[in-house]
């Protein structure tokens, strides 16, 4: 961008998300992809969902409201939310 603000690249966000997912779910084979949902990940329960949201917010320096988190349907939605706030 020419206005001095930094554009957040989706590819970089997915790389970072993959690292976060592997850490939270203790699974080095996990790959964050747009279609990935809680149903696709062993151990993605309510506690790990909170841990995941906290880790994402900390890593990207953003804050999500409960309503925003409640609307997320998949990792693609989460990435879009991060991009909108970063």
Q: Is residue 13 predicted with pLDDT exceeding 90?
A: yes
Alpha-carbon dihedral 6, 8, 12, 17, rounded to 10 degrees? 130
**For the domain 10-85, what is the CATH superfamily, name and number?**
ACP-like (1.10.1200.10)
- Joined together, the tokens standing for residue 79 give 């990435």
Distance of CA 30 to the CA centre of its chain: 13
Domain range list for the chain: 10-85
Confidence of residue 86 (pLDDT cuts 50, 70, 90): confident
Query: Can you give the pLDDT at residue 6?
Result: 52
pLDDT per position as a tens digit, 29-62: 999 999 999 999 999 999 999 999 999 999 999 9
**Both structure tokens of 24:** 């939270």
Task: Name the pTM for this structure.
Answer: 0.87
């Amino acid at each position: 961008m020419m206005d001095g603000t930094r554009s957040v690249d989706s590819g970089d966000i997915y790389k970072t998300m993959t690292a976060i997912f592997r850490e939270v779910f203790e699974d080095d084979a996990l790959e964050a992809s747009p279609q990935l949902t809680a149903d696709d990940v062993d151990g993605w329960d309510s506690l790990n969902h909170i841990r995941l949201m906290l880790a994402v917010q900390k890593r990207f320096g953003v804050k999500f409201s409960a309503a925003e988190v409640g609307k997320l349907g998949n990792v693609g939605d989460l990435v879009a939310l991060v991009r909108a706030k970063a």
